[in-house]
């Protein structure tokens, strides 16, 4: 099992787009001093304590004067991610994308293909194949990559983190526990800030301590995940490569489609008068993405966050649809239910789930559905903003 990920991926792509950024401290996520969070930080700026997930404001305080802050280019990242995957697939047919910058590769059965005279064992063979793979990504795309190789998925993930930057780390069978033991608990996938706090309260800070912690303690903190967390901490995790993310997965026989589609916006300031128009825009985008995927939404959830970060969600099971006006009508009802406080709103979001395959992509008699497809065609030719609902348009004209 191999976990391959692209080092400081967004920063690396930005450097391909603008070579003057090479060697300089780079923060991706937003303009200096603005709102938002850091989505990627170069090693040069990490030296000053800037980390992914940190607010742009705090990063602005910590970063040196010559640091460059860039908002990011989502389409370019997706494109480079796809090209990196194509390279990975030349080395093994069993590849699962875990995120835009992370792939899991199963090399079992490929040993003979890559074996060279003088290879000490299969591990040595696979390690060399993985080095060839990261080298190919670097040579062909200009992107630095790292990889971890181990007997389980979680161990491979941890190993790829230890291998950075631009390294390959092989954790041989039998050495997993010793490799994990000294690491802080946060290094293990599945342990986040909340669990970290709870573990610390129980006197547990290293993975060795997790590995030997009483079952009852872990169950209290991790619930059903307890057994999995403990075996991962011992290096005994599953060697199942896992599934492709549901968004890319095939539908099931009943026509159900895994996954969800969501769109949300945080505002500098918002008033109830503009909320309906914001929701209109969100529904248009979500509905458009649903039509692109050929699915109908069976559930709609509205998310509302007040300025004090109090977050409310209201959802409803609906007649499967991909018509934005239908979604908008329900979204408005949910909004009225959810908005119980007078406080200003900081965020509005729309998510659709319980997706089903749209059996009739181009219905002859349903005006609403056909109009949606027509809108998508216009947008294909003239761009997303060529067509809008009237409510969205009013907002755009005012520049909101």
Confirm or reject binding of residue 291 to DNA (CB under 7 A).
Answer: no
**CB of residue 107 vs DNA: minimum separation in angstroms?**
20
**Cβ atoms within 10 Å of 265's Cβ, excluding its own:** 15
Contact 179, 154 (CB under 8 A): no
Stretch that binds DNA, among 123-131, 176-184, 201-209, 304-312 (CB under 7 A): 304-312
Residue 102: active-site member = yes
Nearer to DNA, 236 or 244 (CB): 244
**CB of residue 358 vs DNA: minimum separation in angstroms?**
17
Confirm or reject binding of residue 212 to DNA (CB under 7 A).
Answer: no
Stretch that binds DNA, among 85-93, 100-108, 200-208, 382-390 (CB under 7 A): 100-108
**CB of residue 286 vs DNA: minimum separation in angstroms?**
8
**CB of residue 182 vs DNA: minimum separation in angstroms?**
18
Q: Going edge to edge, which strands form the sheet with 68-70?
A: 40-41, 26-28, 68-70
Instruction: List the Cα angle 44/50/56 in 5-degree steps.
Output: 120
Give me the residue label for tokens 């800030």: 193
Confirm or reject binding of residue 196 to DNA (CB under 7 A).
Answer: yes
Contact 265, 304 (CB under 8 A): no
Strands (E), the chain: 2-6, 26-28, 40-41, 68-70, 95-99, 102-105, 145-149, 168-170, 256-257, 261-266, 295-306, 311-321, 345-353, 355-357
Rounded to the nearest 10 degrees, the angle between the axes of helix 390-397 and helix 272-293 is 120
**CB of residue 238 vs DNA: minimum separation in angstroms?**
13
Nearer to DNA, 124 or 202 (CB): 202
Applying CB under 7 A, among 76, 102, 123, 244 the residue interacting with DNA is: 102
Cα 89 to chain centroid distance, Å, stands at 21
> Which two structure tokens, joined as six digits, stand for 338?
């959810």
Nearer to DNA, 58 or 123 (CB): 58
Confirm or reject binding of residue 289 to DNA (CB under 7 A).
Answer: yes
**Active-site residue, from 44, 58, 89, 102:** 102
Confirm or reject binding of residue 220 to DNA (CB under 7 A).
Answer: no
Confirm or reject binding of residue 99 to DNA (CB under 7 A).
Answer: yes
DSSP state letters, 184-202: BGGGSTT--HHHHHHHHHT
**Interface residue list for DNA (CB under 7 A):** 35-37, 39, 53, 55, 57-58, 98-102, 157, 188-196, 223-225, 243, 245-247, 258-266, 289, 299, 301, 309, 311-317, 337, 347, 349, 351, 353
């Amino acid at each position: 099992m191999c976990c391959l990920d692209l080092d400081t991926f967004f920063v690396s792509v930005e450097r391909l787009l603008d070579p003057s950024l090479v060697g300089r401290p780079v923060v991706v996520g937003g303009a200096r001093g603005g709102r938002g969070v850091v989505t990627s930080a170069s090693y040069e700026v990490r030296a000053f304590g800037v980390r992914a997930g940190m607010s742009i404001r705090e990063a602005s305080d910590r970063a040196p004067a010559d640091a460059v802050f860039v908002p990011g280019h989502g389409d370019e990242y997706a494109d480079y991610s796809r090209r990196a995957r194509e390279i990975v697939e030349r080395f093994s047919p069993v590849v699962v994308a875990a995120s835009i910058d992370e792939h899991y590769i199963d090399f079992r059965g490929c040993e003979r293909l890559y074996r060279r005279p003088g290879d000490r064992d299969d591990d040595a063979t696979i390690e060399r194949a993985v080095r060839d793979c990261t080298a190919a990504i670097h040579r062909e795309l200009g992107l630095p990559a790292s990889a971890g190789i181990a007997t389980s998925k979680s161990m491979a993930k941890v190993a790829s983190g230890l291998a950075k930057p631009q390294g390959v780390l092989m954790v041989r069978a039998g050495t997993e526990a010793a490799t994990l033991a000294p690491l802080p608990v946060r290094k293990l996938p599945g342990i986040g800030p909340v669990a970290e706090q709870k573990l610390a309260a129980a006197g547990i800070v290293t993975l060795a301590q997790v590995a030997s912690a009483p079952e009852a303690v872990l169950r209290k903190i991790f619930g059903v995940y307890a057994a999995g967390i403990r075996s991962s901490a011992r290096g005994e995790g599953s060697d199942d490569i896992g599934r492709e993310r549901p968004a890319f997965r095939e539908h099931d026989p009943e026509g159900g489609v895994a996954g969800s589609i969501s769109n949300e916006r945080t505002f500098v300031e918002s008033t109830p008068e503009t909320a309906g128009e914001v929701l209109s825009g969100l529904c248009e985008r979500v509905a458009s993405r649903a039509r692109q995927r050929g699915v109908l939404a069976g559930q709609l959830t509205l998310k509302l966050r007040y300025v004090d970060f109090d977050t409310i969600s209201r959802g409803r099971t609906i007649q499967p649809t991909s018509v934005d006006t239908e979604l908008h009508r329900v979204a408005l009802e949910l909004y009225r239910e959810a908005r119980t406080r007078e406080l200003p709103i900081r965020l509005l979001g729309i998510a659709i789930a319980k997706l089903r395959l749209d059996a009739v992509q181009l219905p002859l008699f349903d005006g609403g559905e056909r109009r949606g497809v027509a809108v998508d065609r216009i947008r294909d030719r003239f761009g997303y903003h060529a067509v809008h609902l009237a409510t969205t348009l009013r907002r755009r004209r005012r520049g909101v």
